[in-house]
Amino acid sequence: MIRITAALIAVLTAAPARAEPAKPSAAEILDRMDAANNAFTDQTMEIALTVQDVDGSKKTYEFTLLQKGDTKRLIHFTSGEIKGMATLVEDRNSVYVYLPGFKKVRRVTANTMSQGFAGSDLSNDDMAITRWGRGWEPRLDREDETSVWLVLTPKADEKSEYAKVVHRVDKVRFQQMETHYYNRSGELVKKLEATEPKEFAGGVRRNMHIVVTDARTGHRTVLDTKSFKFNQGLEDDLFTVRQLQWGK
Amino acid sequence: MSARILLAAALLAPAAARADWTEHLALSGFAQSDLRFDVEDYRGPVAGKGYAFSANRTDVGLLLQMEPAAGLSAIVDGRLRYRGFVEADRLVQTTERDLVDPFSMQLDRAFLAVKGKPWKWLDLRIGRMVQTWGTADMFSPVDILSARDLSDPLDYTRKVPNQMIQADAYPASWLSLSAVFIPVFKPSQLPPSAGLAFAMERDPRGCLAAAPAPPLGRADAQRLAALFASTDPCALDFEDPQVRLVLPDNGIADAQAALRAKLKLGDLDLGLTYYYGRFSFPVAYTAVAKTAPSDDPARTRVQYVAEVVYPRMQVAGLDFSYSAEWLWDVGVTGEVAAIFPEEVDFALRAYVGDQKVFGATSVNVPSTPFLKATLGLEYTFASWLAANAMYVHGFFDEFADAYGLHDYVLVVPRMSFLDDSLKLQISAILDLTDLSKQENPELVWVPVPGAELSAGGWWFAGSTRPKDPIDYGSREKFGQKAAGRSVAYLRAKVTW
């Protein structure tokens, strides 16, 4: 789940448009993509996650996600058998979950975080990254009329299940439009596509629809943003264990 | 005109107020149906009677959360339980619905929480609630504030709610302090099979076959056994014991209080706890056996009255959870509780008529401090496979009495398939002290989000007979009849 939230933040979020006349380097493009992904002081989203199996069957879970900066997140699950559960991400190594069945807050181990969520195609290694520039080395691959293609390889100290990641970045707004994930055999294993852009106040543009596809099986996960608010002045106190367990 | 405006305002005002009010309300709940079948016929009260439905229950739970103002929250959490078995035994009673289809109401929580008052760093909570402390699940030796509700052994996370006052202080981001005051003691709710711990064993002829050993020293226990050995067991009408509770008074000294400090030190979460109160499970205190006149002059009627007590204790605890890359990201949890009990002396007397024929006392719980501990490991091998393993010294219902503290190993592999729609969990716990065990395989199918269908087994393995009939501590943990019967179950639950 942690990954889902991070992915949402990373892919759905976009800053106001800024056209640059000079051709930037791969590192500059990646920096701008990271900046676009994390352009808000805080944000609140209501999201529907639909898992689609290859046989056409679907299931949907809903949750509310609050984020401050590019690390602190609070997720409340609002539907399904996990309704009432809440997750707090203070940073990648400090994650807590409120379990309504136990009436207790537990710290989640980094290892447990790597579990998928509700059968979705999103894994922790996909989603824990909100700033690609921190752990990945970019190289300009190609460009077309609308997009730049960056090839990223993990830096020496970056732990990843992927050997290579390819981003398609919007040339004008530096939005992350697509991401392709390759394993160590060079095989495409996963593809993420962000579509249905919507304009918000202040020139903010946002992709409201994300599809993550398992390239080998055709299994899909669809993330639809039902509502989006940003720069609301969410207080730091909201992203604490105190808040996670208060009044429950 | 003005009258019309006033009337309209009067009619509209409640509607407007209602609209405001409902924005601060959240209602959720569940409906659950449980069907269980006893899959053996020897562990219950009467040998040979088994292979029957033992649960036919429907629960409807409702949770109402209200936040009428910022920093103010109220919780009302209750359930309606339809037990599913007819409790009428006379024709006239079948005219009463609550005997034909009996039900009960349970209010699990009803409390008020205030945040940041009177100081910004302080939260208060008052009302009916449960407490869960510690880092380990279920086998937590520091999680002793709320008594256990084991009325349904399969629903083993439930606790007996109680009135409490709780204050939580947050002086720093890495430190929190909690204080809880519980005015009135409540014992743990025991499973329906608990009474079998004191039940007499009879053979098919109805003759006394065995009696539960009292917590006496070996010499006294042998003397007692010799006393009964001289009597024809078929001539004894030994009634099942009446076991009375010796509950504490409701004075201030019998209240419970606890303190907790939680520290976040990098990858380590550390908790330090102190508890003053009572052990919530009963400990044998006295027993009196007395012969009484019988209608049949050839037979002897024996009445047996016992008392159990909930010993006062102080507990100093430490708990932690830790996970780090150098440890391959394995999650480690641990807890140690140092328990300082009050001494409990056990006394047994036997009378024939008014004449005392036997008397003995023993120290059932010495005042010597003792430890209970848990160490757990958690690891995710693949997206579909995770496992927990735990070592436990001292089950949650064990104390340093004549039964003593056993050691256990618990292993729980969990697997998920079909996009998490199908989950298999196999929980197995082995008592290293007596080698009895308990297993709980369970398959859960989530056909649509919010709906769960579960099928599983809750099986005990071990001897129902103690290895040494005069040794109080030789009953097998999961073998004894008091543990309950092995069942197979089917459960359907819808959460909204």
Instruction: Please report the domains of chain B, with CATH numbers, ordered by start residue.
Output: 17-495 (2.40.160.10)
pLDDT value at position A110?
Answer: 65
* CATH architecture, range A24-246: Clam (2.50)
How does DSSP classify residue B5?
A: H
3-state secondary structure of B186: coil
Name the band, by pLDDT with cuts 50, 70 and 90, for residue A45.
Answer: very high
Q: How far is CA B227 from CA B220, B224, B233, B274, B347, in A?
A: 11, 5, 11, 46, 17
Smallest CA–CA separation between B398 and chain A, in Å?
Answer: 22
Which pTM value belongs to this model? 0.86
pLDDT at B14 over 70: no
Name the band, by pLDDT with cuts 50, 70 and 90, for residue A156.
Answer: confident
Whether the bond between B192 and the residue before it is cis, its omega within 30 degrees of 0, is no
A217: contact with B, CB 8 A cutoff: no
Q: Which pair of tokens denotes residue B473?
A: 């501590």
pLDDT value at position B200?
Answer: 82
- Mean of pLDDT values over B158-183: 96
pLDDT (tens digit per residue) in A73-89: 888 989 998 899 898 88
A63 neighbors A74 (Cβ within 8 angstroms) = no
DSSP labels for B20-72?
Answer: HHHTTEEEEEEEEEEEEEE--SSSSSSTT--SSEEEEEEEEEEEEEEEEETTE
pLDDT (tens digit per residue) in B260-278: 999 999 889 999 999 999 9
Backbone angles phi, psi at A16, to 5 degrees: -55, 150
Backbone angles phi, psi at B148, to 5 degrees: -80, 145
A6 neighbors A194 (Cβ within 8 angstroms) = no
Residue of chain B whose alpha carbon sits nearest to that of A51: B419
To probe the interface with A, which of B420, B445, B452 has the most A CB atoms within 10 Å? B420
pLDDT (tens digit per residue) in B328-339: 888 899 999 999
pLDDT value at position B16?
Answer: 47
How does DSSP classify residue B10?
A: H
A116: contact with B, CB 8 A cutoff: yes
How far, rounded to the nearest angstrom, does the alpha carbon of residue A169 sit from its chain's CA centroid? 15
Name the band, by pLDDT with cuts 50, 70 and 90, for residue B12.
Answer: very low
Name the band, by pLDDT with cuts 50, 70 and 90, for residue B420.
Answer: confident
A111: contact with B, CB 8 A cutoff: yes
pLDDT at A24 over 60: yes
Task: Please give the single-letter amino acid code of residue B113.
Answer: A
3-state secondary structure of A244: helix
Q: Which pair of tokens denotes residue B235?
A: 């001539």
Q: How far apart are CA B286 and CA B305, in angstroms?
A: 8
Do the chains contact at A83 and B328, CB–CB below 8 Å? no
Interface of B with A in 96-135 (CB under 8 A): 113, 115, 123, 130, 132, 135
Which stretch of A16-25, B160-169, B172-181 has the lowest confidence by average pLDDT?
A16-25
Instruction: Report the residue from B63, B321, B449 with minimal CB separation from A80.
Output: B449
Do the chains contact at B331 and A219, CB–CB below 8 Å? no
pLDDT value at position A134?
Answer: 83
pLDDT at A203 over 80: no
Interface of B with A in 59-78 (CB under 8 A): 63, 65, 67, 73, 75
Apex CA B355: angle with CA B352 and CA B356, to 5°? 90
Please compute Rg for chain A using Cα positions.
18
pLDDT (tens digit per residue) in B424-435: 999 999 999 999
pLDDT value at position B400?
Answer: 95
Question: Which of A35-44, A137-146, B7-16, B180-189: highest mean pLDDT?
Answer: B180-189
3-state secondary structure of A203: helix
Per 3-state DSSP, chain B is made up of helix, strand and coil in percentages (nearest 5) of 15, 50, 35
pLDDT at A113 over 70: no
Which stretch of A228-232, B35-39, B291-295 has the lowest confidence by average pLDDT?
B291-295
Task: Please give the single-letter amino acid code of residue A14.
Answer: A
Higher pLDDT, residue B16 or A80: A80
pLDDT value at position B210?
Answer: 81
pLDDT at B6 over 90: no
Half-sphere exposure for A41 (CA within 13 Å, toward CB): 6
Interface of B with A in 304-323 (CB under 8 A): 321, 323
- For chain B, the average pLDDT equals 91
- Mean of pLDDT values over B341-355: 93
How does DSSP classify residue A246?
A: T
- Mean of pLDDT values over B342-361: 93
pLDDT (tens digit per residue) in A157-192: 887 778 999 999 999 889 999 999 999 999 999 999
Among candidate residues A241, A246, A248, A231, the one with its CA nearest the CA of residue A87:
A241
Backbone angles phi, psi at A177, to 5 degrees: -95, -35
DSSP labels for B74-131?
Answer: EEEEEEEEE--S----SGGGGG-HHHHS-EEEEEEEEEEEEES-SSTTEEEEEEEE--
pLDDT at A92 over 80: no
3-state secondary structure of A103: coil
Smallest CA–CA separation between A197 and chain B, in Å?
Answer: 28
Query: What pairing do the DSSP bridges indicate for beta strands B242-246 and B300-309?
Result: parallel
pLDDT value at position A188?
Answer: 95
Do the chains contact at A59 and B451, CB–CB below 8 Å? no
Do the chains contact at B115 and A247, CB–CB below 8 Å? yes
Which stretch of A217-226, B55-64, B117-126, B285-294 has the lowest confidence by average pLDDT?
B285-294
Q: Which pair of tokens denotes residue A82?
A: 């996990």
pLDDT value at position A126?
Answer: 65
Apex CA B169: angle with CA B165 and CA B171, to 5°? 170
Q: How far apart are CA A23 and CA A33, in angstroms?
A: 15
pLDDT value at position A2?
Answer: 42
Which stretch of B12-21, B83-92, B272-281 has the lowest confidence by average pLDDT?
B12-21
To probe the interface with B, which of A54, A58, A94, A109 has the most B CB atoms within 10 Å? A109
